[in-house]
């Protein structure tokens, strides 16, 4: 279900979750969109938290409004001398065992560039020499039964020394793929699939910078 489809059905209380949308499965599930999950006002505690069509929840009792925003995240493109792209294998859900780009959420008060440097050090033990901003792609991310919205800021990173590469943190392994060998179906997140597709298209033009 796309975001626009989501918003066109705001008056609908029961919404099929993705796995059951096109199946005959008898179980109906609420979508994990925050409008279905957040039932109580976090300020006064009353069950009067109502979804508004401007992407917020408003408390009828105390007037508190909670906005549903995109969180910033970073995705990092790392290439070797042969132009192969580094993809990681995820250790945890969502998309456990599937391929991903290194990166993650931007911490509060952190810049996108700082998030890239921190995540690449944490996940791959690599030091970034220079970063080049590329594109941004929105994504939906279900964690703990709640849908989060992200904007994945994509950077191409020049690495000081690829020889120190070692998988850590939430990464099982890191592998380099030639653009023609990348199977997009093995990539978990929709946004990352779009970013890698963009990389493949750019590689065909012989440069991503
Ligand atoms: Zn309230």
- Report the CATH architecture of 70-204: Alpha-Beta Complex (3.90)
pLDDT at 95: 84
Given a cut of 80, is residue 10 above it in pLDDT? no
> What's the CA-to-centroid distance between 66 and ligand 1, angstroms?
10
User: Domain locations in the chain?
Assistant: 3-67, 70-204
Q: Exposed, middle or buried by CB within 10 Å (0-12, 13-18, 19+), for 205?
A: exposed
pLDDT digits (tens, 9 = 90+) for 13-67: 333 333 333 333 444 567 899 999 999 999 999 999 999 988 999 999 999 999 9
> What's the CA-to-centroid distance between 101 and ligand 1, angstroms?
40
pTM flag (> 0.85): no
Mean pLDDT of the chain, nearest integer: 86
> What's the CA-to-centroid distance between 11 and ligand 1, angstroms?
21
> What's the CA-to-centroid distance between 73 and ligand 1, angstroms?
30
Number of Cβ within a 10 Å radius of residue 123? 22
DSSP letters spanning the chain: --HHHHHHTTT-S----GGGTTS--S------SHHHH--S-TTT--S-EEEETTTEEEETTT--EEE--EEEEEEEEEB-TT-PEEEEEESSSSSTTSEE-SEEEPPTT--HHHHHHHHHHHHH---EEEEEEEEEEEEEEEETTEEEEEEEEEEEEEES-GGG----TTEEEEEEE-GGG--GGGB--HHHHHHHHHHHHHHHTT---
How many Å apart are CA 196 and CA 135, to the nearest integer? 11
The single residue of 93, 129, 158, 173 carrying the catalytic annotation is 173
> What's the CA-to-centroid distance between 56 and ligand 1, angstroms?
13
How many Å apart are CA 206 and CA 16, to the nearest integer? 43
Given a cut of 60, is residue 167 above it in pLDDT? yes
pLDDT at 29: 66
> What's the CA-to-centroid distance between 45 and ligand 1, angstroms?
6
pLDDT at 136: 98
140 part of the active site:
no
Cα–Cα distance list, 163 to 62, 86, 124, 132 (Å): 57, 13, 11, 21
């Amino acid at each position: 279900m796309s975001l626009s489809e989501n918003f066109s059905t705001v008056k609908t209380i029961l919404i099929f979750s993705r796995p059951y949308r096109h199946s005959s499965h008898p179980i109906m599930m609420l979508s994990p969109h925050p409008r279905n999950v957040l039932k109580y006002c976090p300020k006064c505690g009353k069950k009067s938290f109502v979804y508004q069509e401007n992407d917020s929840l408003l408390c009828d009792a105390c007037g508190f409004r909670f906005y549903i925003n995109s969180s910033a995240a970073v995705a990092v493109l790392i290439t070797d001398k042969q132009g192969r792209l580094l993809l990681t294998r995820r250790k945890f859900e969502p998309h456990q065992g599937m391929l991903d780009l290194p990166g993650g959420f931007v911490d509060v008060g952190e810049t996108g560039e700082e998030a890239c440097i921190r995540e690449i050090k944490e996940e791959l033990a690599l030091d970034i020499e220079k970063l080049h901003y590329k594109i941004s792609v929105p994504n939906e991310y279900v964690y703990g039964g709640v849908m989060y919205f992200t904007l994945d800021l994509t950077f191409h990173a020049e690495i000081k020394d690829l020889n120190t590469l070692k998988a850590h943190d939430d990464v099982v392994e890191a592998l380099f793929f030639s653009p023609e060998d990348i199977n997009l179906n093995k990539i978990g997140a929709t946004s990352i699939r779009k970013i890698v597709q963009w990389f493949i298209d750019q590689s065909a033009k012989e440069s991503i910078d």
